[in-house]
Amino acid sequence: MEFQYIGDKPKYNYHDCLIAIDERGDGFLIKSEPSLYENDIFDGNSLQDNINKNIDTIPKECGIYKCKVVVHSYSYWTDYGTEYDTDSWLESIEKIELIK
């Protein structure tokens, strides 16, 4: 189905984040500024459940990382009226070296 953006241009919001990757490769959000929970952008802290674009950029190696989560919000017309959606992905991923 084709869709057409309505209203303003799509919005991009950038969130500075700390994430953790466990030994199984599962990713978890530790902290975000501004909060990804505040407007129900994230539903829980699992990265695999909340990142829906470029999911292959989620690190696989166990550790703590700082990154940006980009949230792209948009609306479009469908046969049923206006629909709203968001896409999210990681950028600027950098592993934090822990002091032993």
Number of Cβ within 10 Å of residue 58's Cβ equals 19
Residues near 59 by Cβ (< 8 Å), separated by ≥ 6? 19, 21, 27, 65, 93, 95
% of the chain with per-residue pLDDT over 70: 90
- Count of domains for the chain: 1
Query: Average per-residue pLDDT in the chain?
Result: 87
Judge whether 5 lies within some domain. no
Judge whether 30 lies within some domain. yes
Residue 56 has pLDDT above 50, yes or no: yes
Distances in whole angstroms, Cα of residue 79 to Cα of each of 1, 4, 9, 73: 9, 11, 21, 20
Residue 92 has pLDDT above 90, yes or no: yes
Residue 2 has pLDDT above 90, yes or no: no
Judge whether 75 lies within some domain. yes
Judge whether 17 lies within some domain. yes
Judge whether 48 lies within some domain. yes
Residue 75 gets which letter from DSSP? E
Judge whether 4 lies within some domain. no
Judge whether 79 lies within some domain. yes
- pLDDT per residue over 58-91, tens digit each? 999 999 999 999 999 888 888 888 888 889 999 9
Domain that holds residue 72: 11-96
The answer to pTM > 0.95 is: no
